[in-house]
Amino acid sequence: MSFLPQDVKFDMELIKKYDKPAPRYTSYPTAAEFSQEVNHEIFTQKVVESNQRKSPLSLYFHIPFCESACHFCACNVIISRRKEVVEPYLEYLFKELEKTSSFLDENRKVVQYHWGGGTPNYMDKNQMESLFKKSKQLFDFDKDAEISIEIDPRYIDKEGIFFLRELGFNRLSFGIQDFDPKVQKAVNRIQPEDMIFNIMKWTREAGFESVNIDLIYGLPYQTLETFTDTVEKTIKLNPDRIAVFNFAYVPWLKPLQRNIIEEALPPAQEKLDILKMTIEKLTNAGYVFIGMDHFAKPNDELAVAQRERTLHRNFQGYTTKAGAELFGFGATSISMLHDVYAQNYKKIRDYYNALDKNIIPISRGVLLNEDDIIRRDVIMKLMCHFRLIKDEIQRAYNIDFDEYFKSELEELKQLEQDGLINIYPDRIDVTPAGRLLIRNIAVIFDIYTKAKKEQKFSKAI
């Protein structure tokens, strides 16, 4: 039986059985395998080698600053109301840009460009303009480049929205998390409803090609009833994409979360009920289930790429730019080249010190061997397309799929019995019930995670 990519089925018993820790597979190997074996010298060498592939570029800029702390946050951020912290950071960001670009073939086009954080609109207009101009000066942008920015709606007005569009951004993303005032107060992120609807109206007037909205389920004081109201209001906003993230309460890892009262969190069963409702309402409203926590309109690039089997995943999540190599700039940013991943220093001081020595500020990473590259391809095809065609892997890597993955195919039989997948002689199909548990399917091909006794990842659902 053939399924459409957007077909997804919520099977409560299966979800409870498989609700175990698993990576999110924004990369394979995952960041858990990063070590100091990758330093600035190795990375620089790999950057130069990458020019031989002539692959296009994806550029990511991490702006770590926020004016106030959201208690649910798990990102690498710096909370400061002192806006003067931006100038030195930009100065060093420019140094990194100049250093890295000096090793890159100038004919490689930028097809994807993204500012994240933190809060990119923490910067003032002059600072944003100078960063954008510097990027354009050092890199050659494709005329159809995807140019996106994350904003905090609390710190921007209509003029600011139009400024971003005029600067060159054509895609925009912002977090709502939850419309309920009680939930907003508990997580220290007050965003009145009219503010959100105004932001969306302005983005449409300004002509942004795509707008994404983030929601989070599992926050304090959320109930099925209150989050139903949030989902319905989000549908009225009519965004092109919606990301619905599961809140992972890990105060021992993320100190900000200690501000959240654990007793206020919805119980496990209610969280599952909330997720079930969210999926049903969004798909009934015409959104396509892209995978895990992402939904998009049928004519959105993500949905089109999934149908055409060109969808990909990287540290920015799902992307339509499968052939591009990702270069991350700024503290804590991660670069993803064909055979190496590398992360910048997380602490601002260490990041600055490295650039003062005139080196790319790499703190750690991982080198990929041939087996890593094969398994990455398998995992990404499952994550993005819900179908793995064996011959595509065989031809790309000159292997016998059934022989190479003999033990994995044996393990997959249990998942087939449980109804997560269908195994055929030529392919593996993920069923509608298995799509919510795609991380559990992908982990079968992950030799690193399976070798670890202690799982430090969030639960699959």
**pLDDT in 10s for each residue of the chain, 461 residues:** 344 445 899 999 999 999 888 898 999 999 999 999 999 999 999 999 999 999 999 999 999 999 999 999 888 889 998 999 999 999 999 999 999 999 999 999 999 999 999 999 999 999 999 999 999 999 999 999 999 999 999 999 999 999 999 999 999 999 999 999 999 999 999 999 999 999 999 999 999 999 999 999 999 999 999 999 999 999 999 999 999 999 989 898 888 899 999 999 999 999 999 999 999 999 999 999 998 899 999 999 999 999 999 999 988 889 898 889 999 999 999 999 999 999 999 999 999 999 999 999 999 999 999 999 999 999 999 999 999 999 999 999 999 999 999 999 999 999 999 999 999 999 999 999 999 999 999 999 999 998 886 656 666 56
**Nearest-10 crossing angle of helices 158-167, 125-138:** 10
Q: What is the CATH number of domain 26-326?
A: 3.80.30.20
Omega before 23 cis (within 30°)? no
Query: Which regions of 85-181 does DSSP assign to beta strands (E)?
Result: 109-117, 140-151, 171-177
Residue 347 gets which letter from DSSP? S
Question: What pairing do the DSSP bridges indicate for beta strands 288-291 and 210-217?
Answer: unpaired
What burial letters (b/e) apply to 26-45, b meaning 16+ CB within 10 Å?
A: bbbbbbebbeeebebeebbe
CA distance 342 to 360: 10
CA distance 325 to 55: 7
CA distance 354 to 410: 48
Residue entry with tokens 């019995």? 417
Omega before 168 cis (within 30°)? no
Question: What pLDDT does 5 receive?
Answer: 45
Beta-carbon contacts of residue 405 (< 8 Å; ≥ 6 apart): 378, 445
What is the residue extent of each domain of the chain? 1-25+369-461, 26-326
Question: What pLDDT does 21 receive?
Answer: 82
Under a CB-based contact definition with an 8 Å cutoff, are residues 77 and 117 in contact? yes
Tokens encoding 145: 């480049």
Question: What pLDDT does 3 receive?
Answer: 46
Under a CB-based contact definition with an 8 Å cutoff, are residues 108 and 51 in contact? yes
Strand, helix or coil at 439? helix
**Among the listed residues 125, 76, 29, 26, the one whose alpha carbon sits nearest the alpha carbon of residue 351:** 76
CA distance 377 to 371: 10
Task: Give the other-Cβ count within 10 Å of 374's Cβ.
Answer: 19
Question: What pLDDT does 2 receive?
Answer: 44
Q: Terminus-to-terminus CA distance in the chain, angstroms?
A: 26
Q: What is the CATH number of domain 1-25+369-461?
A: 1.10.10.920
- Residue 204 one-letter amino acid: R
CA distance 331 to 351: 6
DSSP string, 185-250: HHTT----HHHHHHHHHHHHHHT-SEEEEEEEES-TT--HHHHHHHHHHHHHH--SEEEEEEP---
| Three-point CA angle 160, 163, 166, nearest 5° | 160
